[in-house]
């Protein structure tokens, strides 16, 4: 499928074969029993490589699978509340949100309004603020409370817990002292 008249040919081990006519390059590939693959079609002249195309595709797929394994997926979990949710239920739902955040998930806290409850959106806002305040050490508010139809929601994302430098230095000193005592 190469349309150029002349191509720059690179061997299997990276050696330069120079600029050859397409016919000569195809003959060279046929002699070495490999494929001629165009790797840089925009170059002048286009760059082609002598390689086993099946093996090349397999290596690319292998690299993609390895890259895919290293990816971490962050899912958004959802916790629903109502404006008339009681204190104990709110505490229980907050504990659930805390567990989800500890697992590394983002959490969408949703307050559902029914009937005439929508006329008092401040109740939903207060509820969401209580949840956010209860989790301020573990979560940061990614998206503040906003109304979407007959519901109000906010998104919390997990916060990395970093020790202040003083605490880190104290821990390092304790470790050093313990090692000195053992010596």
pLDDT digits (tens, 9 = 90+) for 156-175: 999 865 444 555 556 556 65
**99 and 149 part of one domain:** yes
Range of the domain at 119: 76-158
Domain assignment present for 39:
yes
Q: How many residues does the chain have?
A: 183
CB 151 within 8 A of CB 117: no
Query: The domain that contains 106 carries what CATH number?
Result: 3.30.110.10
Q: What is the rounded average pLDDT of the residues 95-124?
A: 92
Q: 54 lies in a domain? A: yes
Give the CB-side neighbour count of residue 2, counting CA atoms within 13 A: 25
Residue 72: strand, helix, or coil:
coil
Enclosing H/E stretch for 58: helix 53-70
The CA-atom distances, in angstroms, between 150 and each of 14, 123, 141 are 63, 13, 21
Q: What does the pLDDT look like over 19-78, one tens digit per residue?
A: 999 999 999 999 989 999 888 888 888 999 999 989 889 988 999 998 888 877 778 899
Percentage of residues of the chain with pLDDT beyond 70: 87
In-domain check, residue 31: yes
Structure confidence at residue 69 (pLDDT): 83
Nearest to 156 by CA among 144, 146, 138, 141: 141
Let me know whether 83 and 147 are in one domain.
Answer: yes
Total-model pTM: 0.52
**Does residue 61 sit in the same domain as residue 97?**
no
Q: For the chain, what is the domain count?
A: 2
98 and 115 together in one domain: yes
Strand order in the sheet with 151-158: 76-81, 106-112, 151-158, 139-148
């Amino acid at each position: 499928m190469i349309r150029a008249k002349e191509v720059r040919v690179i061997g299997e081990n990276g050696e330069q074969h120079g600029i050859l006519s397409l016919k000569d390059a195809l003959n060279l590939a046929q002699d070495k029993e490999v494929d001629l693959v165009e790797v840089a079609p925009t170059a002048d002249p286009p760059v082609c490589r002598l390689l086993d195309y099946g093996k090349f595709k397999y290596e690319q797929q292998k690299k993609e699978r390895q890259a895919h394994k290293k990816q971490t997926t962050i899912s958004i979990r959802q916790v629903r509340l109502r404006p008339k949710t009681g204190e104990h239920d709110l505490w229980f739902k907050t504990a659930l949100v805390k567990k989800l955040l500890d697992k590394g998930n983002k959490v969408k806290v949703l307050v559902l309004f029914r009937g005439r409850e929508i006329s008092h959106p401040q109740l939903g806002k207060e509820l969401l603020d209580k949840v956010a305040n209860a989790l301020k050490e573990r979560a940061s508010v990614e998206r503040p409370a906003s109304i979407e139809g007959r519901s109000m929601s906010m998104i919390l994302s997990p916060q990395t817990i970093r020790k202040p430098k003083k605490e880190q230095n104290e821990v390092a000193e304790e470790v050093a002292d313990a090692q000195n005592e053992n010596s």
